Amino acid sequence: MINILLVDDEKKICEFIKACLDKEGYNSDVAYDGKSAISYFEKNNYDIVILDRMIPDISGEKICEYIRSKSNIPIIMLTSKVEDEDRIEGFKLGCDDYICKPFNVIELVLRVKSILKRSNIKGEEVIKFGNFFELSKISPELKLEGKNIYLTNTEYKILLTLASNPKKVYSREELLENTVGDSYEKFDRVIDSHIKNLRQKIEIDSSNPKIIQTVYGMGYKFGIQ
């Protein structure tokens, strides 16, 4: 799953962009200020950042500089400044693309796809951790130490969600929303049952799990870093 960080203080614009990204099958987190953006970035793994230049507390330029000092992740900068000098300055700061407001959201989505393709972040790729763990992003195919492990569709979705963002702790409600669907909305403990079955398949010792870890009072996280 492609994870996107969207940073803009205009809530309605964010909601519309997020809806379009969701429709494409992307997972997106929204930050409305600089501090939240940096917090999201530090706690999660993203494939691309969409960043407004005019952010209230910390400027988009500073956020861009910070992200670029930590990662080579692609950055698309949004701005109402249309002068050539401003665009040049944005590229100097490390952004990969520049879109002037107002813009067509379809164009933004196409640019996201283009950058992801150039960055070799494709849906057919796998999530790998050394030679131990290899999970397909498009089908329920898991290899542990080269051995194929059968997963049900729900088990696969749970594992893919967790492995796509190893730093994030997912609540049961989030896992339900991402994997099981609305039919189980009031029965969040159904996730525990799927996690138990999944651990029996992938853990060396399911009573002392290392791959899917419980964070008490919060939920679950992926244990391989």
User: Would you state the pLDDT for residue 213?
Assistant: 93
Which residues are bridge partners to 142 per DSSP?
A: 135, 149
* Better-scored residue on pLDDT, 215 or 79: 215
Give yes or no for residue 200 having a pLDDT over 90: yes
Rounded CA-CA distance 42/35 in Å is 11
Which of 118, 146, 173 terminates a domain? The answer is 118
Q: Which of 70, 94, 118 is the last residue of a domain?
A: 118
What is each CA distance from 125 to 121, 134, 203, in whole angstroms? 7, 10, 23
Same domain as 151, residue 196: yes
Question: Does 2 or 17 have the greater pLDDT score?
Answer: 17
- 114 & 218 share domain: no
Q: Which two tokens stand for residue 13?
A: 């614009």
How distant, in Å, are the alpha carbons of 7, 33, 34, 87, 173 from that of 58? 11, 7, 5, 19, 32
Indicate the residue among 70, 88, 118 that finishes a domain. Answer: 118
Question: Which of 211, 219, 142, 151 shows the shortest CA–CA distance to 188?
Answer: 219
The average confidence (pLDDT) of the chain is 84
For residue range 34-78, what is the model confidence (pLDDT) as tens digits? 999 999 998 888 889 999 988 888 888 889 989 888 888 889 988
Supply the CATH number for residue 25's domain. Answer: 3.40.50.2300
What is the 3-class SS of 19-53, one letter each residue? Answer: HHHHHCCCEEEEECCHHHHHHHHHHCCCCEEEEEC
> In the predicted model, is pLDDT for residue 32 greater than 90?
yes
**Would you say residue 122 has pLDDT above 60?**
no
Q: How many domains does the chain have?
A: 2
The answer on 151 and 54 residing in a single domain is: no
C-alpha 42/C-alpha 36 separation (Å) is 10
Q: Give the separation between CA 108 and CA 151, rounded to whole angstroms.
A: 35
Contact assessment for residue 145 and residue 128, using Cβ atoms and an 8 Å cutoff: no
* pLDDT at 166 (0 to 100): 84
Q: How confident is the model at residue 131, as a pLDDT?
A: 67
**pLDDT computed for residue 50 by the predictor:** 94
Distance CA 23, CA 129 (A): 29
> Is the pLDDT reported for residue 17 higher than 70?
yes
Same domain as 185, residue 150: yes
User: Do residues 7 and 114 both lie within one domain?
Assistant: yes
Q: 138 or 194, which is more confident?
A: 194
Which whole number is the average pLDDT over 160-171?
89
d(CA 29, CA 96): 20
At 181, the pLDDT band (50, 70, 90 cuts) reads: low
- Indicate if 162 and 112 belong to the same structural domain: no
**Residue 123: what pLDDT?**
45
Residues 92 and 172 in one domain: no
Nearest to 139 by CA among 128, 150, 131, 130: 150
CATH of the domain at 205: 1.10.10.10
- Selection from 77, 54, 102 nearest residue 5 by Cα: 77
87 Rama class: left (phi>0) / alpha (psi -120 to 50) / beta: alpha
Using CA atoms, how far apart are residues 191 and 171, in angstroms rounded to an integer? Answer: 10
Residues 174 and 203 in one domain: yes
pLDDT number for residue 169: 92
Confidence of residue 180 (pLDDT cuts 50, 70, 90): low
Verify that 55 and 137 share a domain, yes or no.
Answer: no
Residues 134-151: pLDDT tens digits?
A: 888 878 889 898 889 999
Query: In terms of domains, do 56 and 161 share one?
Result: no
Whether the pLDDT of residue 184 is over 60: the answer is no
In the β-sheet with 75-79, what is the strand arrangement from edge to edge? 27-31, 3-7, 48-52, 75-79, 97-100
If one compares 183 and 14, the residue with the highest pLDDT of the two is: 14
pTM of the predicted structure, to 2 decimals: 0.57
Residue numbers of the domain that contains 140: 126-222
Question: Are 113 and 130 found together in one domain?
Answer: no
Contact 133, 224 (CB under 8 A): yes
Co-location of 140 and 107 in the same domain? no
Residue 103 has pLDDT above 70, yes or no: yes
